[in-house]
Every structure is written in structure tokens, then in C-alpha cells.
Structure 1
Amino acid sequence: MDIQEVLKLAEELIYEHTGENLDYLQKTILQRTLENQTYKKIAEETYASETHVRYIGAKLWNILSKILGENITKANFRTILENTNIYNFAPVFCRDNVTSNINICPSNPRASPTKTNPPQTPTQNIIDLDKAPEIINFYGRTDELSTLSKWIVSDRFRVISLLGISGIGKTTLSLQLIKQIKTNFNYIIYRTLRFSPTLTTTLTNLLEIFSPETETSDNIETLLSQLQKYLEKYRCCIIFDDVQKLFAPGKLAGQYKSGYEDYRDFFQLFATVSHQSCLLLISREKIPEITKLETENYPVRTLTLGSLGAAANEICQKRQLVDRESWEKLINNYQGNPRWLDIIATIIQELFSGQVAEFMEYETLILPEALQAELEQQFEHLSPMEIRVMEQIANQSQPISIGEIIRKSELSIQESVNVIQSLKKRLLLDGQLENNLTVFTLNPVWIQYLKNKRESGINLLFPEG
């Protein structure tokens, strides 16, 4: 057998005994093992940790060992499958000597052979959630789920951006959404852009899910053309998480890293070219081209997640906090952010015996190390001008107007407008109308974070580098 035949046999064996198709990582491990690649090389190719690749590999060898009744390892995988009498398994595997394809035949050899569909067919629901986190807790968000489901299933919008600050629950919501919409799609694919894969890598990854045997190209136009055929033929929902990782640190919001600008074209093509699929983009920053397309009446929508509101009470209940009358203020102080509240609830439970009222006695908003570390990651992504303006706003006891920002920050009108717009794109700045004047504020958590940095002696206005 050649490599593709061995790979096909392994896939069919696993599918017949588990009822599940292999995902991209599993297929890559099998194929690269047949090509004598190391786990380290496979990890580099798939943007996974070597530990995770070894873990998935071990699970595959264990499944095949149970199926074949032999001890399968990475070292002997190909040899054992090549020497396997495939007629010992039901349904029987038959070789077509003309086409060299391996097909599944019925257990009765005299019956007319039934041709099996390829692993990925439009009648199947293929769900590939490579590197998707497990949902441990899910609170509220019924309205948001309903809105997303309607946009995707009923309205058939092609591109949807799901926005929200870090920890607000974007990824959890998207994974919960999959449970509701999965029967409406032939393919649902989740991928994180956390490690900034190039568009070529991302497109190649997607194409291998649709057809592992298809030869791929290094030419982006060719890859896009190939992908478009699948988007037209099948109903697909593709989810890209951590889209903000494509943007350059130290610059204003929405500016792509060098070498990643072609994602902009990809997002635009997905929205403007006719097909029957959907792209869900998850980001903590607005995606410029999506905002532009939305104003041009393309089938594009944006949903921004805010506070959990009353649903956040479930977090307090689960963590067995007391003083229920203080819960609402606690939730508001931490913006109804589930991850932030979970961090705070841990502190209240460990240091204040679960008593929220005692915790709330302190005038200073307490930011545990875990919460500060999360804010620090986003702070390091800001441009120097954004840091300067945030510091000026944080120093004010009242909301501040653009005119005051210009005077206090010593930036030009153009610079000030660009910076304010950038901070709003990052969802860090709130604007409101007071006495016919637009004024801006930061949320209390960020104000406290900046105050902590200032008190620690860090120069925010002129950071090093």
C-alpha cells in the first residue's frame, strides 16, 4: 500500500468503530507518521504543543490497537496496517484493483456492493473544533444566542463579527452556539488565530478538512478559488477566534501585522462573493473591513457582548458567596465580566470567607494578580499615544471631552481623534452625550489598573521602547 491507501484504511477503520471522522490534527498525525516525521515537526506544522500532539497520537494508537488486536505504536503503525488482513473486519474492506480505492462492502459478500460516501459528504455534519477550549460554565446570553442563530441560520449573513473585551465570554458563546446550529450545516470548523498563522497556512488547513487528498498550492488566489468551491457546494460555518492577534502591537487598532494584510482581502471576499456559508470572527477589537462592509449593506453583522447582568448572580451562587444584597454592586464594579468575576470570587472565598460585604468595604477596587496579568496583555498591545490618552482620562474624576483630551495630552486634533477612535475600536472607551457635549470615560477596572501602574513608579506617558 502507498501512504494514501494506508491513511484511508486507518480513517475507515476508526470511523467504522467510533462513528467519528478524524479532525485535522488527527489526520495530520497519521499522515506525517507515515512520512516518518517526528512529533516535534508535526507540532510545528499544526501550531499545537508537542505534548498535545503526543497525547492525541497516543489516543489514536490506542484506538487502532483495540480495533486490530495488536499493540500499535508510532513506530510500527504503517507496518502493521500494511500487513493487516483487512477482510477480518466488518464491514469488509474491498480493494478496487482498477482505481486502487478502498471501499466498504456489506458483510454479505454475495449482496450487491454498497458504495460508501467519502468521509466528508454534504449529508454528514462534520464538526472540527481543533484547539477549541472545553466549555466548563455557561451563564445567560439567551438573547445573544438567539440573535446569532437567527443571523446565521435564518438570515444567512455571510460574515458576523463577535466582539467583546477579554474574558467577557465570546469563545464560550460561540461554542455554545454550535450546539444550536450544528444540524443546519454540513461543516462547522473552529480555528484559533492565537499563534498568528499565515493565510496560506489557514486556507491549506481548511482545504485539508474538506478533502485530505486534494493537492494544495502556495498561491493564495488558487487556495481561495479552491475554498470558494466548497463554500458554494456545502453549507459551512467557519469560526476564527482571536482575530485581534492579526493586528500589529504598538500601533492604532485594526492595523495588520506585516505579512498578514491578505486576511483583509479574505474577509472582504467572504462577505462580497456569493456562496451559502458563514464566517464568524471573534475579536476583542473591531475589524475595520467588517465595519465598512456593514455600512455598505453587505450581508454582514456585528454583535458586541456586554455585561452578563443578572445572569452573573449564578457565578456568585456557584462560588457560595454570601451577602446577596452586595452582589449587584460587585457585578457592576467588574463590568459583569464572567472571567473577572470568577477571579474576584476566588479571592472573596479564600480571603474573606465568601463575604462580599466585607470585600466591598475597601474603597480601592481590588485587582488580583491574575486580573492584572490579563489587563497587562492588552495594555502591552497599545500604542504610546493611546496610553497617554488613557492616562489622562483615568486622572479625571468626571467624563472628559475631546477638547479637554487635546489640551491635556498635548496631541494634535487629528492625533486625538485617531486615538479616541482607536480606543473605541478596542472597546476600552465609552462615549456618552452630556449637555450636548460628547464625553468619554474608562471603565473602573482600567482606571484602577492604570492607577496601580502609576503608583508602582511606571511612567505611562513615556513608556520605554
Structure 2
Amino acid sequence: MLQFVDRLVEKQTGEHLNNLQKEIIQGLWQGKTYQEISESGANGYNENYIGDTSRQLFKVLSEQLDEDIKKSNFCWTIERIINSPQSLVGVVNQNITWCPYHDRAVTNDKITSPELAKSATKYHDLSLAPKIRKFCDRTTELSILSNWLCNQNMPLISVVGRAGIGKTSLVKRWIDLNLEQFDTVIWKSIRFSPTLNTIIEDILTTVNPDTILTHPLLTQLFHFLRDRRCLLVLDDFQDIFIPGQLAGHYQPEAQDYHTLLTKITEIDHQSTLLIISQEKNQQMIALDAELYPIKCLELRGFETTEILKNVGLGDSDSALQILKSYEGHPIYLKEISSLIQTLFSSNIAEFLTEEDLILTQNMQTQMKTYFNRLSPAEQQIAIHFSQSNLPISREQLKADLSLSSTDLINGLDSLKRRYVLTAIESEGIAFRLSPVFRAYIRSFT
């Protein structure tokens, strides 16, 4: 069996099974859960990582065998194929019966029940999701999402962070590895869908063209989410927030999204709404995680040298200095790496002799967008921060700026929820502005 699976994996990936993959396959064959595989050894990996690795194997096997392989049918499907007359495995001279711990399914059984037919129907609409060509290591974050989505069945999850930090790629990568976990997976972008009603109409009529739309559409959507296990992804969620005001406040015409986020945590259903945003939603903060089934994954820049190697900077002390200056942001690092190669003959030390932090045209455009979205109080605070490289305390800001305590505190909180301000705790709490954002503000003040 291991030989057979190894041949399939090697044909698809060019690599043989590693020790962890072999342990996982043997554990599944013995009817073990991911937790039991983890506890029995598995090189110290936790059950979430083992689940992710398993799903990668299932995807490879599904493509090679042209069958939908998953944890529940892995053993008997491999056994059936090995025993088939067309099998070229050649490892035994008689049929194998190595999978005794559960009933075998018959693949040509006809589904006669309408309810079963409905539950067996899969629908995936990922036309607006990106194609992942190169993925930086986010093993921890993938495991967190697996735990929330597969183990805890969280109805509302947000993935938030700076533009270009890798939020959309992370979610798409998780979906690519776990597509079989949901009956329906739908990816929508707020940028291309003007209203929530437009999104709901498209979902309901595309999944089932015979659907008769009834109002309110939100109620019909909740019935849909209750009837099947669905993952609904809403990307570019920050586009429904008001620019020029504090972070995470809905535009007047987008108040129905507020209702969606509240109700999806209160009603009984089996689905998940996952939102991707550059700003932390004020409503997600108001919904106390102690009382509501919600989770928020804040995606930060990379801190390890692996990202430096991926963008061609190496792992020297000079490269580490660039990693810190550009906050481990994968796109910033890639652009700076390209500049160093083409204009500095790949000499990182020479690049670091520049007096100011170098911003590419793309960085300047992105920072301009950030600055224009700030409220007047936030802009005033950000400009003051840009005048110093050192962290500044709230008390010092209060003394330096002509802002009320309310405006100052709300402004600091909003800048943190936009991920351009970081709190530093030592003897007290001080705040530090993003180096890239600081360099941009200095360029025009």
C-alpha cells in the first residue's frame, strides 16, 4: 500500500513520501484520528499540521486517481483500486483486506434520496480568488485556520493586515488544501460587488439556477448556510468602510453587512463567513469573543530569514537590517531586492548607506492610499510620529498635540487597527509608527 501511494505521489510531485507522510498514512490505515497520530509520535507535529499534510496528500491522490479522496474514504478507496483487475500495483498475488475498521462504501451506489443527493452536491466558485504560484511559509497560520474552521467550526472569522502582507494568499492556500471540508466554497470580492444583495442574489442563483428569490434576501441566505456546509469568503472588506474617518466604520449604504456579521454568530447553521480586510472591523471588537463564536487572525510581516532567501537577499546581517526596516513585508522586500540587484549591483551594504529609507513607486502609492483614508485626528498623530524615530508615549502625545483625550485615544486605536502603529510595552506603553509609513509622511511634510 505504501509503495502504491509512494508511486502516485512521486509521479505527481517528483518526490517520494517523507517519514511524516508515511506515519500519517499508516495511522489512517489503522483508523487513528489526527490527534492519535500526533500523540503516537509523528515527529512532534500537532494534529492541525498533520491534518494539513493529510489534505495535501489527498489532493495529490485525487488528481492521480481521478477520484475524490478524503479522510473518510482514503483506506477503502486505495484498497479497492489495488484490488481492481486493472491495477498494476503488483505487490500481492491476491486481494487485500487491510481496512477492517469501518464499512466499505460502494462507489457505484445510486443516491435515491433527494436529501442525500442535495448533501452530495459540491459547488465551488473560486473565479475571483487568486492563483497561488509561490507561497511563503505560513505553517502556523494555516494550522490556526484549520483549527478554527475544521475543529471549532467558527461561524465568523476575519483575516486582517496590511495590503500585500499575504492575507488573500493565505486563505486561498488553505482552501486549496482543504476544499473537501465544505459542500460549497464561494469567494467574492467587495470591490466587484456593489451591494450585499448583489452578492446574495449571485450566490443563490448560481448554486441553484431554479432558486426563486424572496425578500429579505439575508433570511434566504441564512437558510442556505443552514442547509449545507458552506465557506463564504468576502475579500477587500475594507472597501465598505468610510475613508477619512476612524477605521472600520461602515458606509451608510453598507449597514446590511453589519447585520450579516451579527446574525451569522447568533443563528444556528453549519457554515463559516470569512472576511479579509486591511482594517480591523470595529464591530468584530465589539462582539466579545468570550460571548460570540468569532476569531480574528492578524497577519504580520515575516521575522525569519527564510523570506530573505526567497526574495534573493540572503541572510547576512545587512539583509536582516533590511528585513527589519521593511517590516518583513514580502512585497516590499521583493521590490527592494530588485532595486539592489539592478541599481546597486547586488551590494546590500551600499544600498544601506542611503540616508533615507528608499520607497519604491508602489510603496508610495500604497502609503498615499493609507494616509488619505485616515481621519483628520489620525493624520495629525501620524505626522507628529513621523518627526521622530523613537517610540512616543500617550502622555507625551497628549502634551504635544492639541487633541482631546477622546480624539487622541480613538486616533491611536484606529491607527493600530490599520496596522501602521505598534504598541511597545516596557516600563509603560509607547507607540511606534511603521518605518515605511513614516518615510512616506516625511517625504511631503
Shorter-chain TM-score above 0.5: yes
CA shift, 1:235, in A, is: 0.7
Distance 1:397 1:317, change over 3 A: closer
Which of these residues, 381, 385, 405, is aligned with residue 373 of structure 2? 381
1:313 to 306, 310, 315: 306
1:242 aligned partner: 236
Give the AA of the match of 2:386: A
Contact 2:289 2:295 in 1 (8 A): no
Compared with structure 1, are the counterparts of its residues 123 and 114 closer, same or farther at alpha carbon in structure 2 (3 Å cutoff)? closer
Equivalent-residue separation in structure 2 for 1:393 and 1:299 (angstroms): 36
SS of the residue 1:418 aligns to: helix
Gaps of 5+ in 2: 1-109
Give the superposition deviation at 1:296: 4.2
| 1:300 matches 2:297 | no
Secondary structure at the counterpart of residue 408 of structure 2: helix
* Native 8 Å contact 2:187 2:233 kept in 1: yes
Aligned counterpart in structure 2 of residue 271 of structure 1, from 265, 276, 282: 265
- Percent of paired sites with the same residue: 33
> Does residue 335 of structure 2 align to residue 343 of structure 1?
yes
Q: 1:358, CA displacement in angstroms?
A: 1.9
Which residue number corresponds to residue 139 of structure 2? Answer: 142
1:318-345: CA deviation from partner (whole Å, max 9, x where unpaired)? 4444673422211111111111111212
Residue type of the alignment partner of 1:301: K
Q: C-alpha distance in 1, partners of 2:309/2:247?
A: 37
User: Number of paired residues?
Assistant: 335
Structure 2 counterpart SS, 1:194: helix
Superposition map of 1:220-231 within 5 A: 222-231=216-225
Secondary structure at the residue paired with 1:424? helix
The 10-residue stretch of structure 1 (346-355 or 231-240) with the greater mean CA deviation from structure 2: 346-355
CA displacement 1:33-64 (0-9 Å, x = unmatched):
xxxxxxxxxxxxxxxxxxxxxxxxxxxxxxxx
Equivalent position amino acid for 2:439 in 1: Q
Residue number in structure 2 paired with 1:286:
280
Q: 1:444 is matched with which residue?
A: 435
Counterpart residue type for residue 154 of structure 2 = F
1-side partners of 2:444 and 2:130: how far apart? 31
Correspondence for 1:164: 161
Q: Residues 140 and 308 of structure 1 are in contact (CA less than 8 Å); yes or no, is this contact kept in structure 2?
A: no
CA-CA distance at 1:125 after TM superposition: 3.3
TM-score normalised by structure 2 residue count: 0.71
Q: Structure 2: how far apart are the matches of 1:423 and 1:340?
A: 20
For the Cα contact (< 8 Å) 1:307–1:337, is it kept in 2? yes
Report the residue type matching 1:361 in the other structure.
Answer: T
- Structure 1 residue aligned with 2:246: 252
* 1:207 Cα offset (Å): 1.2
Which of the numbers 184, 188, 191 marks the counterpart of 2:185? 188
Q: CA deviation at 1:290?
A: 1.7
Q: Is the 8 A contact 2:311 2:333 kept in 1?
A: no
SS of the aligned residue for 2:264 comes to helix
Q: What is the rounded CA distance, in whole Å, between the counterparts of 2:313 and 2:395 in structure 1? A: 44
Match of 1:178 in 2: 175
Distance 1:425 1:321, change over 3 A: closer
- Once residues 234 and 390 of structure 1 are traced to their aligned partners in structure 2, the CA distance between those partners, rounded to angstroms, is 46
Distance 2:284 2:366 in 1: 26
SS of equivalent to 2:158:
strand
Q: 2: distance between equivalents of 1:114 and 1:171? A: 37
1:349-380 superposed Cα distances (whole Å, 9 cap, x missing partner):
22122222221222311101111111111211
* Whole-angstrom CA distance in 1 between matches of 2:291 and 2:178: 24
Aligned partners of 2:331, 2:157: CA distance in 1, in Å? 23
Partner AA of 2:134 in structure 1: N
Q: Distance in 1 between matches of 2:155 and 2:111?
A: 37
| Alignment deviations for residues 103-155 of structure 1 (CA, whole Å, 9 cap, x no partner) | xxxxxxxxxx998989x943243221132222122101100000001100111
Question: How far apart are the structure 1 equivalents of 2:122 and 2:184?
Answer: 6
Q: Deviation above 4 Å: which 4+ runs of structure 1?
A: 113-118
Distance, in Å, in 2 between the alignment partners of 1:415 and 1:361 is 39
Q: Structure 1: which 5+ residue stretches go unaligned?
A: 1-112, 455-465
Amino acid at match of 2:198: T
Change in 2 beyond 3 A, CA 1:434/1:171: same
Return the alpha-carbon distance in structure 1 between the equivalents of residues 111 and 389 of structure 2: 75
CA distance in structure 1 between the partners assigned to 2:441 and 2:414 by the alignment: 18
The answer as to 2:416 corresponding to 1:424 is yes
Change (3 A) 1:117 1:330: farther
* CA distance, structure 1, for counterparts of residue 407 and residue 236 of structure 2: 27
**CA–CA distance in structure 2, aligned partners of residues 122 and 356 of structure 1:** 57
DSSP 3-state at the match of 2:231: strand
**Residue 206 of structure 2 aligns with which residue?**
209
- In structure 2, the partner of 1:362 is 354
Q: Deviations over 1:227-264 (max 9, x none)?
A: 11221111111111111111011111121112111100
CA shift in 2, pair 1:293/1:212, >3 Å? same
Which deviates the most, 344-353 or 238-247? 344-353
Q: Distance in 1 between matches of 2:177 and 2:227?
A: 22
Counterpart in the other structure of 2:34: none
Q: Is the 8 A contact 1:253 1:422 kept in 2?
A: yes
AA of the residue aligned to 2:429: T
Q: Tell me the distance in 2 between the aligned counterparts of 1:237 and 1:199.
A: 16
- Residue 120 of structure 2 aligns to a residue whose secondary structure is coil
- Given that residues 309 and 315 in structure 2 are in contact (C-alpha distance below 8 angstroms), is that contact kept between their aligned partners in structure 1? no
Matches within 5 A, 1:393-432: 393-432=385-424
**2:196 alignment partner, one of 194, 199, 217:** 199
How far off its partner does 1:201 sit?
0.9
**Is 1:125 aligned with 2:122?**
yes
Task: Provide the secondary structure at the position in 1 that maps to 2:127.
Answer: coil
